[in-house]
Amino acid sequence: MKLTAVSTLLLLGAALEPLSVLGLSCPDVCSPSSCLRAPSKCAYGKVKDACNCCDFCGNGPGEHCGGEFNILGMCGKGMECVSNNVNEPTTFPEGLCVWKMRTAFQPGKKQQQQQQQPAKMQTPPPGLKFVPQKQQWLRSKAWRKFSANQLQREGKVAKKGQQTSFN
């Protein structure tokens, strides 16, 4: 009986261990001196880091976003991070930045969905398709996630012992 209780506790501890490493510690008070140098010009506007303290440049359309504590970055002004992880729900979904949809109401007419895009963005980001029923861009089956190794090669994920800026 003692062996069963001990093995149950060991299994429970092993199951809970991965949950203990997923944590983010933000300072009680935001200190600009603790931030990296703030960007001066950002093509898609500035966004705050995961602690809502330091400024970073927002990602543009078609760029990766989200992940654990937004490690892949956050989308710039007028965009949102869209993920198609319906089959594999996760706390930290990864996705692509796409332009937000805007509803325009005109008296006497039905509401119309208009896509808020700059003139240069006429085609959807690669690997995404627009689903009218959901009124959002979703990842097509051909779109694949980047592995951690590929992201490290691109400099998007910090290597062990390296400090990251969440963007």
> pLDDT tens, 142-163?
444 443 444 455 555 444 545 4
How many domains would you assign to the chain?
1
Is residue 54 one of the residues assigned to a domain? no
**Element containing residue 61 per DSSP (H, E):** none
Question: Is 109 a member of any domain?
Answer: yes
| Spatial separation of the C-alpha atoms in residues 127 and 146, rounded to whole Å | 13
Most confident of 8-12, 100-104, 116-120: 100-104
Q: Is the pTM of this model over 0.95?
A: no
* Sign for the pseudo-dihedral over CA of 82, 86, 87, 89: positive
For the four alpha carbons of 102, 103, 105 and 110, in that order, the dihedral sign comes to: positive
What pLDDT shows up at residue 47? 92
* 135: in domain: yes
65: domain range?
A: 61-153
φ, ψ of residue 105 to 5 degrees: the values are -110, 130
pLDDT at 97: 93
In a domain, 122, yes or no: yes
Phi-psi region of 70 (alpha: psi -120 to 50; beta: other; left: phi over 0): left
- The verdict on residue 6 lying in a domain is no
Backbone angles phi, psi at 28, to 5 degrees: -65, -35
**Could you tell me if residue 27 is inside a domain?**
no
State the pLDDT at residue 74. 92
On whether residue 77 sits in a domain, the answer given is: yes
> Within a domain: residue 86?
yes
Q: How many CB atoms lie within 10 A of CB 3?
A: 7
- The enclosing H or E element of 143 equals none
Mean pLDDT lowest among 43-47, 59-63, 78-82, 123-127: 123-127
Q: What's phi and psi for 68, nearest 5 deg?
A: -60, 120
